[in-house]
Structure 1
């Protein structure tokens, strides 16, 4: 009987197989200079890898304390492995393993904010990065402002010394820094939100201002909130991924993460004090992130949301299943080229059509088993930047939205069919799922009533868009088709109608 494989740890590093890349720097000499909130799969497959690259290129005091204020807990995984974990790159049949080593301490702070506050307020922390998901910012999606009616925000304003929310925790940590050492700090959002630095600054400053102006003024003088665009597809880890490490490389790792080969990180060059030189290892420092984030949000992420919701309606499980479907592939490609790209500003060094091709090729990677339901999670927090903003721009241009309106209706259909009226066809995770279910239980299958009720949610749909007659009609028509027994007929009809309109316009201008 063979012995059980050893678990990844510092003691095991020197005995790892030669085909597993390991940290090429002295972890024992690594000082702590950063904290990261939300140490999930994306951070560990993206920012942490860049940091390991930097430490190998130019060693400095940029060890990271990983902090989770929501599940999963770190102590049972990263904590037991000395902060070490394996990052697998998977592309179809290819697998590449790397052990990442810059997380030197882990903290679970779900039960109490105290451990997180102790780290974040420490004078040695010069950079705080975060991946807390869109809803973690407690903002109103339609405006980007702090939602003062959000339950955790209400709690934190009443109990500022024992916060639960990200804005509350950050505001309290900044106040502790102000009261003790006063050292500046950079708060860098790495979440998939446009103008994420502006939104983070909005929610933290607004929270701070609720208790007077002194903290807000200190924040203005001592805290930087750069925006950033991050990109790497990192699906939820499965037991098969964990088993792959054991079977292929001979050790156990409960904190495995999986990613695609592609990665990108564009960071606004606006820091308070020292910052890691990630630009030396592939990241890009720029004065304005906006063109990059619009391109990524509206093309890659717009394609993901479109394929996820329409893919579920078509009975397909993964993104690569959806992009392999000829109808959905044609639809998403034409939507991006014909309606999304004309809403974008020029991006330095990027040819838009090539970016569309590259994005769709990435989604074809069969080794990245990204479930459509996972991508559809929290869709209400995503559709503004991915779909509604390009819709708004198209309408302002006097241009058609016959294709972009379909995934908007697809998001509605996805939530509507999780209601009791539709037999709760699948479970969903979305802050607005209950509200949409209530609308569906009242409106039933009446597409016009459903659209009217959902568009009245003004925290998602701003009034100017919600009352636009063209938008309402196209979304209502698409939703009616998507809720039928043949939802893909609505996709085919949208393609046919927009092609007919294009040909008619071309003939008129000839």
Structure 2
């Protein structure tokens, strides 16, 4: 079998490097680089990516061995049909490990064609580290490394306004662009860098807040031999992902013009404010996951796909989404319904094995963040309570009893929360249990028993679940 490289694939370098990418992991390669590859094919973007390894340990050496080439395998459901697509990604020009050659890393800043910095260095990656005392050697943190690179670029081009960059972080934190900007300015102050550098960073570099959404399971180790036989190459960097993708970028028109994803039929949206899109994702996608888990688990289902295809659980979550969550959101109805339908197809993906019990991690805090806002907004707008979302809460309370039909439920939450439920389930009645849980301000940041009818409805649903458990045991 042939080794995958640019000679065996007959793919010479074709584009200038416009993107510096911090991170070589599965997500960036299965999402951002896949998008850039399509931009080169479908638009006049004409740009390649240079990857920087952000941590001491990484896979830059594997990328170098394959000269930046690898395949993305998309598997899932789109438009009700099962889809499968293999694409050779050729937009990566080279990769650098700054831990091996700091000077070569800084030299990347001297590229006059460079326009973008894209990153995904984990949720903890965008943080100021006071232990980084200067730029004489490689800083430890990602923002420290980036500050050193920007300062080198500033000096090399004598502070030219047109040599500022568009910085588009993909780390999963809120306002990630603002957080990155804050960290870089903190380093500029910490290192006593010139005031004109700080002004250049603030005035001529655009820090964009983003929202990313695609499930990327990564290397398909279970069937990689079959995939390599199909490809005819020994590709050790294959990335498996779902077909769905969404990238929302909060940025001015100048960034949109430089990154013409709107011309490539891609789900990349440039917006003035991504807050409604973040709310949509949290409430519909994440909220549906969280609401579904206890209901489906107590019905004996164990995976998301089983649950969504089950007549009872599937109907429950569809009605919860379309009748109780969507009415609380402010984006156009058509957009909300399309996103909801995409979510349901993603839940049905036969190529992703997503266990309900794994999603149940820290379900109390997840319910507070992902589901409770829909409950409260529905009550505010409709003057009534959403029955299915409260049915989910009742199922969650029963789930945290830690036992169902004589079987132990492997709960995974903080010791304080587990201890609370162990104690509260010593109470005599369902109503007492519900009242104790709903009144816990540590859980919900408010006393939910103060909402008229809230505790009674949850208690009624809990009692119905307990009756169903008894009938199952008798049968």
Find out whether 1:186 has 2:166 as its counterpart. Answer: yes
Q: Is the 8 A contact 1:30 1:60 kept in 2?
A: no
Match of residue 361 from structure 1: 345
Find out whether 1:277 has 2:266 as its counterpart. Answer: no
CA distance in 2, matches of 1:137, 1:408: 34
Deviations 1:141-171 (A, max 9, x none): xxxxxxxxxxxx4454556765433344334
Match of 1:88 among 45, 67, 73: 73
Query: 1:48: Cα distance to partner?
Result: 1.4
Q: Is the 8 A contact 1:405 1:471 kept in 2?
A: no
Q: Is the 8 A contact 1:135 1:381 kept in 2?
A: no
Structural mapping, 1:425-444, within 5 Å? 425=410, 436-437=414-415, 439-440=416-417, 443=420
Q: Is the 8 A contact 1:222 1:272 kept in 2?
A: no
Match of residue 469 from structure 1: 448
Match of residue 60 from structure 2: 75
The TM-score normalised by the length of structure 1 is 0.68
Match of residue 500 from structure 1: none
Match of residue 337 from structure 1: 322
Query: 1:440: Cα distance to partner?
Result: 4.6
Q: Is the 8 A contact 1:184 1:223 kept in 2?
A: yes
CA distance in 2, matches of 1:28, 1:154: 37
Distance 1:450 1:48, change over 3 A: farther
Match of residue 245 from structure 2: 263
CA distance in 2, matches of 1:335, 1:184: 46
Distance 1:411 1:208, change over 3 A: farther
Deviations 1:421-454 (A, max 9, x none): x99948x7xxxx7xx23x2575461358997999
Greater shift after overlay, 374-383 or 29-38? Answer: 374-383
Find out whether 1:31 has 2:16 as its counterpart. Answer: yes
Find out whether 1:170 has 2:149 as its counterpart. Answer: no
Match of residue 8 from structure 2: 12
Match of residue 473 from structure 2: none
Find out whether 1:127 has 2:116 as its counterpart. Answer: yes
CA distance in 2, matches of 1:455, 1:172: 45
Where structure 1 has 5 or more consecutive residues not aligned to the other structure, the ranges are 15-25, 139-152, 494-510
Deviations 1:254-313 (A, max 9, x none): 211122333333433427778332222123433343333332332123324545677678
Match of residue 428 from structure 2: none
Distance 1:69 1:271, change over 3 A: farther
CA distance in 2, matches of 1:381, 1:114: 45
RMSD of aligned C-alpha atoms?
A: 4.8
Q: Is the 8 A contact 1:402 1:474 kept in 2?
A: no
Distance 1:330 1:275, change over 3 A: same
Match of 1:97 among 66, 78, 86: 86
Distance 1:269 1:476, change over 3 A: same
The TM-score normalised by the length of structure 2 is 0.72
Q: Is the 8 A contact 1:85 1:256 kept in 2?
A: yes
Deviations 1:112-155 (A, max 9, x none): 988766546865432011233444335xxxxxxxxxxxxxx445
Q: Between Structure 1 and Structure 2, whose CA radius of gyration is higher?
A: 2
Find out whether 1:323 has 2:305 as its counterpart. Answer: no
Match of residue 297 from structure 1: 282
CA distance in 1, matches of 2:101, 2:296: 40
Distance 1:132 1:52, change over 3 A: same
**What secondary structure does 2:40 align onto?**
helix
Distance 1:164 1:95, change over 3 A: same
